Amino acid sequence: MADTTFAERAETFLNDLMREHYQVGAGLKETLELAAIYERNADLFAEATVRERVAALRLDASKETRHLADFAVGSFVENAVKELSESIANAELKATVEWDDKQIPYKNIRPVLVREPEYRRRHDLQARQFAVMVKQNPLRVQRLNAQHDLARGLGFADYRAMIEQLRGWDLPKFHKQLNPLLSETEDIFERELGTRLSAARVPRQAADTSDVAYVLSAPEFDAIFPGERLVPVLAKTLERMGVSLDSTPGLTLDTGARPLKSPRAFCAPVRVPNEVYLVIKPIGGQDDYRALFHESGHAEHFSHVDAALPFAFRYLGDEAISETFAFLFEHLTQNPRWLVDVLRAPLREAEKYWRFALFHKLWFLRRYVAKLEYELHLHDEGPSGMETAYRDILGDALHITIPPERYLDDVDDGLYVAGYLRAWVFEMQLRDFMVEHFGEGWYESRDAGGFLQELWAVGLRDAVDEIAQTRIGAPGLDPKPLIEELLSG
């Protein structure tokens, strides 16, 4: 299969795949149907085709060749486990949990959980949630073991080696770079966690993840983030940077209310840059603002990619690039200056929320650094007996009871956890650059908007390490500014 043909077919496949995910997530379809899409494109995932892509990478280490090899291998593995993926997803789409004499769709438990003020009831609801989730764990074990077998069958030492070689990563080295984030924030994290659990009337020794989910929902700040202003505030913020929601040709904002629509905002880049959906089910509150601004970072990025770029640079590459823009926009909803200037929040409330947001970020960063450690063990050793490792590694980092049942549900393919962490590190470096060059109010600067559009235009071509060096003058990824921010609260 010639390169051009492979790229064109791969783009059509991704268009169809993302459209399916969009329609299910947007509540336009009841079931996820992936098998037919993969079957129509079976030749893309033939083992001979994939081996050809891997062999090409060994001869030519160019970015385009690397991205295509990564796509071919990843899609080959996904294709091989698609029936298991469908079975897990569809079982959870159909599942319900009985609660207060009602049947709650499994996928809609979280909005109920995070707004339940009594911790014993939260624990009960979460236990019912896990009772549904664990039914699919045998399939998750099969799926992970199959992924590991497929990696070795392609000639890689193991699954982790496959990911690292295809993306140019050294994950143990990266994890070691992040270790100071845990050690240096230990005291402030324990102090903040204890204070916030106490305020939520949760006994310290009884605390579990449902309690932290409730704390992080922060209903006390909901008045700052009214639901009716959610979309207008996003539009106003983008307009000030010279980026208009209305004048971005390929971007569609889906705000329709549908029973099966995902409660979390998401971005679906169906055809980059000409058909990108930003999906939201507005309810208001800080979590809704945070999610919409995060996904709008993805949406603006994909909507502004240069349409003339080859497929490999519009769709494929370092996921941390788009996550960086998502985190950059998400951070605006935590910035005291933005809260006062745009949302008209009282300064005292804005500063109080900023301190909460730092704790929120610290929680997730500590969680993801621990998740990276756990997933390195998981992929090196396999899933057998990993419930204990998941519970202990995350428990040590987060200082609460961790549910071992989630040891596979809490794992994304391709060690995506590393992409998130790389993005968090680079976002802080990029934000410092934006402040230095465009001022504290960079979100009101059309020059800043122009600079971002220049970065967006190159799609996923360059890794964040390279962008750090070539566009903001940093030597590479450096977690020190991120750690300093976390300690500033």
Report the CATH number that the domain containing residue 264 is assigned in CATH: 1.10.1370.30
Whether 207 is in a domain gets the answer yes
- Pick the closest to residue 167 from 480, 421, 418 (CA basis): 418
Domain extent for 160: 3-98+137-166
Domain match, 155 and 223 both = no
Domain match, 181 and 156 both = no
Domain match, 275 and 196 both = yes
What is the number of domains present in the chain?
Answer: 2
- The reported pLDDT for the residue numbered 3 is 53
Domain match, 180 and 160 both = no
Please list the pLDDT of the chain residue by residue as tens digits (489 residues). Answer: 445 588 999 999 999 999 999 999 999 998 888 888 988 888 888 899 999 999 988 888 899 999 999 999 998 999 899 899 999 999 998 999 999 999 999 988 988 998 899 999 999 999 999 999 999 999 999 999 999 999 999 999 999 999 999 998 999 999 999 999 999 999 999 999 999 999 999 999 999 999 999 999 888 898 899 988 998 999 999 999 999 887 788 999 998 888 888 878 899 999 999 999 999 888 778 888 999 999 999 999 999 999 999 999 999 999 899 999 999 999 999 999 999 999 999 999 999 999 999 999 999 999 999 999 999 999 999 999 999 999 999 999 999 999 999 999 999 999 999 999 999 999 999 999 999 999 999 999 999 999 999 999 999 999 999 999 999 999 999 999 999 999 986
Sequence-distant (6+) residues with CB within 8 A of 318 are 167, 419, 422, 460, 462, 463, 464
Domain match, 244 and 141 both = no
Largest CA distance in the chain: 63
- The reported pLDDT for the residue numbered 2 is 47
Residue 331 pairs in a beta bridge with none
* Dihedral angle sign, alpha carbons of residues 272, 273, 275, 278: positive
Whether 322 is in a domain gets the answer yes
The domain boundary residue, chosen from 145, 166, 187: 166
Q: Are 332 and 431 spatial neighbours (Cβ–Cβ below 8 Å)?
A: no
Domain match, 251 and 222 both = yes
- Pick the closest to residue 410 from 122, 129, 75 (CA basis): 129
Domain match, 230 and 150 both = no
- The reported pLDDT for the residue numbered 255 is 87
Domain match, 13 and 49 both = yes
Whether 38 is in a domain gets the answer yes
Burial class of 244 by CB neighbour count within 10 A (0 to 12, 13 to 18, 19+): exposed
- The reported pLDDT for the residue numbered 23 is 96
Angle between helices 171-184 and 186-199 (to 10 degrees): 60
Whether 16 is in a domain gets the answer yes
Domain match, 311 and 291 both = yes
Domain match, 149 and 246 both = no
Whether 113 is in a domain gets the answer no
In the chain, count H helices and then E strands. Answer: 23, 5
Whether 127 is in a domain gets the answer no
Whether 171 is in a domain gets the answer no
The domain boundary residue, chosen from 166, 186, 208: 166
Q: Residue 263 corresponds to which amino acid? A: P
Whether 7 is in a domain gets the answer yes
Domain match, 158 and 243 both = no
Q: Are 411 and 378 spatial neighbours (Cβ–Cβ below 8 Å)?
A: yes
Domain match, 162 and 14 both = yes
